[in-house]
Structure 1
């Protein structure tokens, strides 16, 4: 288990993100303060859990945690700021949304957002720190649900399968159907396809219907 040097504090928030790599949709973050009197078994990096297990744990986290909150940065913000700074902004929003102000924040990865309380970055924290594991699960479940809704609206893109990541199927769908308003235009695969369509058609952008 990860050991960190800190003063004795009562409320520690774990913070994680999901969705830095996809070509579409928001980057979603979560912040969680667990209740030490209500342990949750099976917490782990959300990517190492089955979808069924993630959903069950997400409900247990929401029920047992002292508090939790989601944050997000939209595609337009990602395009404007870049994905790193948009992710840090989304983390700030998640922490700000907590009903209890944490005295310390543990952030998955190697960068911390600017917060009002001390924060420590923990590489692979989603596998090492229960609070971060819980945050990774809530963020993953929330973003996957958004991809399911997007799939229902645009089934030809296959979002239920690839969750917006740059798979061959996703890139082929963009080539065939154009881009959606939710696509991240600053991401190279999307930008190149937009530029290609513009050269072929003389239009500045091709948007899927």
Structure 2
């Protein structure tokens, strides 16, 4: 698959907070509505990779939108509720550990974003996707935006939705199987998580067996 040419700003070109300028430019060019999409969970040893897509109302943009990694849990939850209340459309999709193992995490992340866009209740004419690749199979034009969750409010909103939803899924997994502490580390390779893996081995259908330390 050919890689889309990314929009790669210099570090000092990044705004302090994401804004709506990319969306406004797309609208001037006749591409409206505009959706932002982003994923959460590329790096963990366990759990799904999740993605969200969001179409914001340009006249009612939630306050405090930012890269989900730059917000604490309380701020993410608050922003999540605001996004659901005020956005024109929000959707979420995920691919399980088995689907990740069947291919690779990059392909799974892009497919999760494609599915999230496909599930929107309103069809966008442009999708702004975080990262260096446009998800293949989009129903409309797409643009890859490097560090998009720090540049575009639509992508930032999607990053928050994806992160909150994935964290809730992992907290539920932790409630179902208390051996690993999923509700604390969300599947990332913390010392506690690695110790639990050494003691109990991988959890069926949750751990990504194509990832180290499982891959042989």
Q: Same fold (TM over 0.5)?
A: yes
Q: What residue in structure 1 maps to residue 63 of structure 2? A: 41
- In structure 1, the gaps of 5 or more residues are 193-209
Secondary structure of the residue aligned to 1:191 is coil
Tell me the number of residue pairs that the alignment of Structure 1 and Structure 2 aligns: 192
1:84-95 correspondence to structure 2 within 5 Å: 84-95=106-117
Q: Give the structure with the higher percent helix.
A: 1
Q: What residue in structure 1 maps to residue 85 of structure 2? A: 63
Give the CA deviation at 1:144. Answer: 0.4
1:127 aligned to 150, 159, 163, which one?
Answer: 150
**TM (normalized to structure 2)?**
0.85
Give the CA deviation at 1:42. Answer: 0.4
Secondary structure of the residue aligned to 1:13 is strand
Aligned equivalents of 1:189 and 1:167: distance in 2? 13
Q: Pick 1 or 2: higher relative contact order, CA cutoff 8 A, min separation 6.
A: 2
- Which shifted more, 10-19 or 165-174? 165-174
Q: Kindly report structure 1 stretches of 4+ aligned residues shifted beyond 6 Å.
A: none
Instruction: Name which one, 1 or 2, has greater alpha-carbon Rg.
Output: 1
Q: What residue in structure 2 maps to residue 161 of structure 1? A: 184
Aligned equivalents of 1:39 and 1:76: distance in 2? 37
After superposition, the CA RMSD in angstroms is 1.3
Give the CA deviation at 1:178. Answer: 1.4
- Which shifted more, 183-192 or 172-181? 183-192
Aligned equivalents of 1:25 and 1:87: distance in 2? 13
The 8 Å contact of residues 23 and 190 in structure 1, kept in 2 or not, is answered as no
**TM (normalized to structure 1)?**
0.88
Aligned equivalents of 1:147 and 1:138: distance in 2? 14
